[in-house]
Amino acid sequence: MKVVIASDHAGFSLKEKVKKHFASKIEFIDVGTYSEDSCDYPDFAHKAANVYIEGKADWGIAICGSGNGINMSMNKHKAIRSALCWNKELAHLARLHNDANFLAMPGRYIEAEEAFTIVEEFMNTDFEGGRHENRVYKISVF
């Protein structure tokens, strides 16, 4: 399984912990940032989106301080359905009902153990389809 992962400076520490924790299960494509030096989250969101759109990753993870900025940037791409998740239940529903292909997390507001649980849930939940298919289709038709 290949997963593209991105963060800004505020998400860098959590990004590194996630990569280390899942190293035996996931092959990560890390598009940055690579330090805690101040940077702009859209730069890394767009890099991650392009890796996914080019078919080089199965799904993605994006982390910034609140999770909001990087999530908003991800969702500017038509092919991306990024969901901001700060607990297991939101990750489950993002996949089950919304067929999310990017997991956004708030690096400053969740602990590493919670992030691991969220990633695990996102990774192991399949899209339910059915009544949700038309709704998901309508997200990116414009």
> Domain coordinates of the chain in residue numbers?
2-139
Tell me the CATH class for 2-139: alpha beta
Tell me whether residue 77 is one of the annotated catalytic residues. no
Q: What is the pLDDT of residue 139?
A: 85
Catalytic hit among 46, 77, 97, 132: 97
* Cα torsion through 75, 42, 64, 24, rounded to 10: 80
Model pTM above 0.75: yes
Tokens of 139: 């997200």
Q: Say if residues 65 and 15 touch (Cβ distance below 8 Å).
A: no
Q: What average pLDDT does the chain have?
A: 96
Q: 66 to each of 7, 47, 142, how far by Cα in Å?
A: 11, 19, 27
Q: What percent of the chain has pLDDT over 90?
A: 92
SS3 7: strand
Strands (E) in 15-132, as ranges, are 27-30, 59-64, 82-84, 102-106
Q: What is the pLDDT of residue 141?
A: 66
Least confident piece of the model among 6-10, 72-76, 137-141: 137-141
User: Would residue 17 be called left, alpha or beta, if left means φ above 0 and alpha means ψ between -120 and 50 degrees?
Assistant: alpha
Q: What is the pLDDT of residue 74?
A: 98
